[in-house]
C-alpha cells in the first residue's frame, strides 16, 4: 500500500471515531437535560401532592368533630337546626 493512503486511512478512522464519540456525547447531554427537566416537573408535582396531602389530613381531623360536620352541613347543604330559618342570598362575583 501507498504510504499516503495509509495516512489518509488512519486520519479517516480517527475522524470517524471522533465523530462517533461526539454524537454519543451530544446524545448523552440531551438525555441528561431531558432527565433534569423531568426531575424539575416531578419535584413541583411532589410539592403540590404533599400540600394536598396535608390539606386532606386537616380535613380528616375536622371531620372528626361533630360540631364542624353540623356547621358544614348547614352551610353547604342548607340544613337547619330546629327553629332556624335559612335565607339564601345571591352571590355576585
The total number of structural domains that make up the chain? 1
Q: Would you call 72 exposed, middle or buried from its count of C-beta atoms within 10 A (0-12, 13-18, 19+)? A: middle
Number of CB atoms found within 10 A of residue 79's CB = 13
Structural domain containing residue 60: 3-76
Residue 22 domain-assigned (yes or no): yes
Number of CB atoms found within 10 A of residue 62's CB = 13
- Tens of pLDDT along the chain (93 residues) come to 688 889 999 999 999 999 999 999 999 999 999 999 999 999 999 999 999 999 999 999 998 998 888 888 877 777 777 777 777 777 776
Residue 92 domain-assigned (yes or no): no
* Cα–Cα distance measured from residue 36 to residue 28, given in angstroms and rounded to the nearest whole number: 12
Residue 24 domain-assigned (yes or no): yes
Residue 10 domain-assigned (yes or no): yes
pTM of the model: 0.57
Residue 70 domain-assigned (yes or no): yes
Residue 39 domain-assigned (yes or no): yes
Amino acid at each position: 500500500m501507498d504510504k499516503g493512503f495509509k495516512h489518509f486511512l488512519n486520519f479517516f478512522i480517527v475522524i470517524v471515531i471522533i465523530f462517533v464519540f461526539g454524537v454519543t456525547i451530544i446524545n448523552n447531554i440531551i438525555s441528561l437535560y431531558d432527565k433534569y427537566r423531568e426531575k424539575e416537573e416531578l419535584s413541583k408535582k411532589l410539592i403540590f401532592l404533599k400540600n394536598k396531602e396535608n390539606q386532606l389530613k386537616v380535613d380528616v381531623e375536622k371531620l372528626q368533630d361533630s360540631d364542624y360536620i353540623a356547621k358544614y352541613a348547614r352551610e353547604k347543604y342548607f340544613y337547619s337546626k330546629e327553629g332556624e330559618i335559612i335565607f339564601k342570598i345571591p352571590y355576585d362575583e
